[in-house]
Amino acid sequence: MTFMLDDILRSRRDTRHFTDEPVPDEVLEKALRAGHMAPTVGLTDATQYYVIKNKEVKQEIKKLFQKYNQKASDLIENETQRDAYTALKLEAIVDAPLGLVVGYDRSVLNTFTIGTIASNDTIRFSAVCAVQNIWLSLTEQGYGMGWVSILDHYQFKKLIALPEEVEPLGYFCIGKPATDYGHQPMLQQQGWKQKSAAPTVTEVKKVNRSTYPAFEQSLNKPIENELLEEQIQLIIDRKTKPAGALGILETLALQMGKVFKTTSPEIKHPHLVVFAADHGIAQHGVSAYPQEVTGQMVKNFTEGGAAINVFCKQHSISLNIVDAGVNYDFPPNLPIINHKMGRGTRSFLHGPAMSADQVQTCLFKGSEVTNSLFRAGCNTIGFGEMGISNTSTAAVLMSLLCKYPIEQCTGKGTGVAGENLDKKLLILNQAIQNYTGSREPLAIMAHFGGFEILQIAGAMLQAKQNDMLLLVDGFISTVAFLCAYKMEPKVKSNAVFCHLSDETGHRLLLQYLDAQPLLQLKMRLGEGTGCAIAYPLLKSATSFLNEMASFDSAGISDKDQ
């Protein structure tokens, strides 16, 4: 029996070439039974199967593949390698007699599920186990299967009308193999790459007890120099204008002078940092977009294609991207700061999103980002975020930290409306009702927080320690500031609230903080876009303070003369 299994394992291929021989129903049924025998976390039976035989459907799926495959080809810089990639046959969507979609139903997470507390990914891993069983069963029966993963899963899901709560792993081509590829993997046969001869195995021989140090605040600085404040205000008042005529710009100039501890403040090496992470609560359908969009948008940031890229370039602001906990593994050569805490938080519907130690580590990692920029000469730092479902996380944090009803804190986020918004509110309300822990801020942050939100909070606290100006974007960044403020209220003196978001709850949160936003443009994009758009106002504030003539220098009489 072992010998037969070894034969099946060795002969299993990711097939791309098929005959036109139909797949008998009994062959498919046996393979799907094998899939159903695979391990399933908590016996949820979350794995779902969809069979596709219709030619029109296959043609449309092929178009999706071709669009994404072209994008993959365009990313290959080496022309020879790109030509080799283009020559590969990577799909058989139309050629194979049968198509199969394997997915998983994340609605099983709406109730407590054994095996999902540490990671929601176990639902998906169960589906992957089913795929392997199906593959081996088909191989044993003399048939083959090919996995097509180069698809925009969001568009793919819409195309085949998958239920909102079902997430596809990919598209699988099934049929009678037209070749055995010379008893080797197809990519090896075609010269793309050689498969290693043996597995890589490392024995772990000792316990690694290294940990990140707990985040420590050291804001015990001397009382603000009241004389400096009087000097700056006098300089502002002596400019060739009526007192207060430049409105908020005068307030900004005074604040920046106090933060930088000078009567002639200048912005030096401004940076905007986007922290990205995924959230376990996304598995419950609280967003209009799938979780995969977080990783896709991070890659878009690195390619310069997002709104924040455009605005940072426009205003000569350096942009940094931090992977705080995205459910995707990025190549090490991408310009991303790797502070990954995990592949997203756990769902806070039935348990904590993270541990108390992880909260401290997030704060520490955020402070490291700020310190590295500070050492490079930066004195002004803006904060943005990216993370599907982080409006849900932010809404619950605001509700509990400010003691407001969740309904006043929850908005449409990425576009949730109508019945879906009602569902979002229902889930968030249930999560709050399920929580029986401490009402202390750090305990609330651990149970309901997001990796990116708490890393931003740590970065903001460090900016205060370093006498840096910190720019707060929209709703989620302001909730991150709220977390920092709950730990150290003095951080507010260094904060500029760049705009009033169109997201429900932001106006109320700014009122709670007694904060005046610079702009109101009905924006709710995030990414730090509000910071970048408000940045010219900061430049204008320093310009008038440092360059505008005074009554004395211009020889102009003011109203008191």
Query: Catalytic positions, please?
Result: 527
Using alpha carbons, list the distances in angstroms from residue 382 to 167, 207, 460.
35, 39, 9
Where does 106-165 show beta strands of DSSP type E?
A: 144-148
CA 179 to chain CA centroid, nearest Å: 42
CA 95 to CA 91: how far, in whole Å?
9
In the chain, what is the straight-line distance between the N-terminal and C-terminal CA atoms, in Å?
A: 105
Here the tokens at position 12 are 């299993």
Residue 480: how many CB atoms within 10 A of its CB?
Answer: 30
Q: Is 244 left (phi over 0), alpha (psi -120 to 50) or beta?
A: left
Beta strands in 97-165 (DSSP E): 98-105, 144-148
User: Residues near 518 by Cβ (< 8 Å), separated by ≥ 6?
Assistant: 248, 252, 496, 497, 498, 499, 534, 537
User: Residue 99, class by beta-carbon neighbours within 10 Å (0-12 exposed, 13-18 middle, 19+ buried)?
Assistant: buried
Beta bridge partners of 148: 171
Record the tokens describing residue 145, joined without a space.
């299967």
Determine what percent of the chain falls in helix, strand and coil, rounding each to the nearest 5. Answer: 45, 10, 40
